[in-house]
Structure 1
Amino acid sequence: MSKADLHVHTIMSDGSNTIDELIPMCKARGVDTLAITDHDTIGAFENFKDNYDIKIIKGIEFSTTYKNKSVHILGYFIDDKNKELNNKLTYLRNKRKNRAREIIKKLSAKENITIDYDNIKKDTDDASVGRMHIAREMVKLKYVKNTEEAFAKYIGDDMPCFVKNEKVTIPEAVELIKNTGGISFLAHPGLIKDVDNYNEILDYGLNGIEVFYPKHSNEQRQYFYDLAIERNLLISGGSDFHGVKTKGKNKIASAYLTDKYLEQIINFHKNMTK
């Protein structure tokens, strides 16, 4: 049986592996279609050569806000040469850099934790610096035992050194994805806090829902599956893999799509771009 993992991150955002390093991991887990979906960046495709023996779908994961809640939007079949998209991502990348520097300043002033921004930039190729990079540096310098502790004590939402990040809105993300010829999905809806009505989010014109996700319970998976069927939306799934060093359930192919759902996505995209 073929497997498609449509939610994987690389070193260009907060993952710890390159595309080249991901390929053998995918093959070992039976994955023959992979979507690279880095946070607010398409840097992984800058020197991309489509000569792998598994299919690579160019994607992105936008961090957006909805009623002061964090909502992630996945985009597949992204045109990484699109000027509008690249301009927006450059703007967001610069905002992320400034945010990282502000977090580092707070860590120093409030917690006497010294982090060198240049070390983080070196590890990420300065592509899309996020809190996970700072957390990993804190682990490396032995300020915390693991990245979970870094978030729980210092840099997580509402923690002493948290700095709010500027994000696009859901309609902006959907429009940016659409304008590149891509299709949009609501990422891991079960992780969104305190949502009473998912239909309000889906009404922004999303094409599908990420139903199969490692941290979705069986009940959540069934609920989002039924919601997708009810609204005639596409069904996606993936592991949200960030690297072998990241603890938890999000291992490659810990959630995936079978041929049936992948073919529906591919056919929808082909018909859309005819």
Structure 2
Amino acid sequence: MASYIDLHLHSTQSDGTFSPMQVVQRAAELGLSAISLTDHDSVAGVQEAQNVGQNIGVEVIPGIELSAQEAGIDIHILGYFIDPVNSDLLAYLQKFQDARHNRAKKIVARLNRLGVRITMAHVLLKAGDAAIGRPHVADVLVEEGFVFSHDHAFQKYLGYGKPAYQPKFVLTPSEAVEVIHAAGGLASLAHPVLYRRDALIPNLIKQGLDGIEVMHVKHAHADVRRYSDMAKHYGLLSTGGSDCHGDGRGQAVMGTVRVPSAFLDAMKEKLAQ
């Protein structure tokens, strides 16, 4: 019987709406044999997810999704099999959390100058223990009635080039890969189709990538074939996942991307070399 996995999932420890426990429980309900919790700039949910996974028979790979920038384009790098207590990784993540907090303050200040009266305290309440980000600001805007929906918040205020947009602190792809490798992990380029610049990928590969996310909820069949061929051409791993953020800001897409367990087997083989 075929076994499927999902190597790109988010929880309430970043911008997801399922707790780490709920992520694993949903995976079990869907019959997934393994998952990776890849919260943005956070490993805070990994231990909880692994504990739940051990109890209900779902393998949980410790993961993360780091933000980088190349040629003015935001690039995301997925890290797998990282050590979540690696001191260098945790030092980097603390730096990133501080930068996220400062960015959120600047966004709130911009909104206030536009006459949108929300408070940083409310945004922090929405974020809770999670890595704070624009989705939490969007949640407040919806709750306070300034916009109709989460998407509307980004279209009107928070998206790139919009009145309250604030650039974020980012690494170069090579720095992100270095952070992941230093924590004992494998680095994979997330959702390449979203960048609309395949010409950038060869240079990104030169910066130390181990894999490419060939399967993603936004990848059409032609995209999957193209990125699979690219991975084979460059001798890289193929990874895949739904990029599910729960169901609080749209449809929960976990399980909609049928990622074969062979992808995970190949990753483990590479680590064992």
Fold conserved between structures, TM > 0.5: yes
Asked if 1:41 is matched to 2:6, the reply is no
Counterpart position of 2:263: 261
The TM-score, its normalising length taken from structure 1, stands at: 0.93
For the residue of structure 1 that corresponds to 2:67, the secondary structure is strand
2-structure distance, mates of 1:20, 1:58: 14
2-structure distance, mates of 1:264, 1:120: 41
Aligned-pair identity in percent equals: 30
CA shift, 1:117, in A, is 2.0
Asked if 1:63 is matched to 2:64, the reply is no
2-structure distance, mates of 1:3, 1:97: 37
For the residue of structure 2 that corresponds to 1:119, the secondary structure is helix
CA shift, 1:122, in A, is 2.6
The TM-score, its normalising length taken from structure 2, stands at: 0.94
Which of residues 236, 249, 258 in structure 1 aligns to 2:239? Answer: 236
Which of residues 59, 75, 81 in structure 2 aligns to 1:77? Answer: 81
2-structure distance, mates of 1:46, 1:227: 34
Counterpart position of 1:13: 14
Q: Deviations over 1:191-237 (max 9, x none)?
A: 01444241111111100000000111221111101000111110000
Alignment of 1:15-164 (within 5 A): 15-45=16-46, 50=51, 51-53=54-56, 54-110=58-114, 112-164=115-167
AA aligned to 1:93 is: Q
For the residue of structure 1 that corresponds to 2:121, the secondary structure is helix
Q: Which blocks of at least 5 consecutive residues in structure 2 are unaligned?
A: none
2-structure distance, mates of 1:200, 1:18: 36
2-structure distance, mates of 1:195, 1:143: 37
Counterpart position of 2:230: 227
**Alpha carbons of 1:47 and 1:34: their partners in 2 closer, same or farther (altered >3 Å)?**
closer
Contact between 2:3 and 2:261, CA under 8 Å: does it hold in 1?
A: yes
* Deviates most, 180-189 or 135-144: 135-144
2-structure distance, mates of 1:33, 1:252: 12
What is the aligned length?
Answer: 269
2-structure distance, mates of 1:127, 1:247: 19
Contact between 1:186 and 1:208, CA under 8 Å: does it hold in 2?
A: yes
AA aligned to 1:130 is: G
1-structure distance, mates of 2:118, 2:44: 24
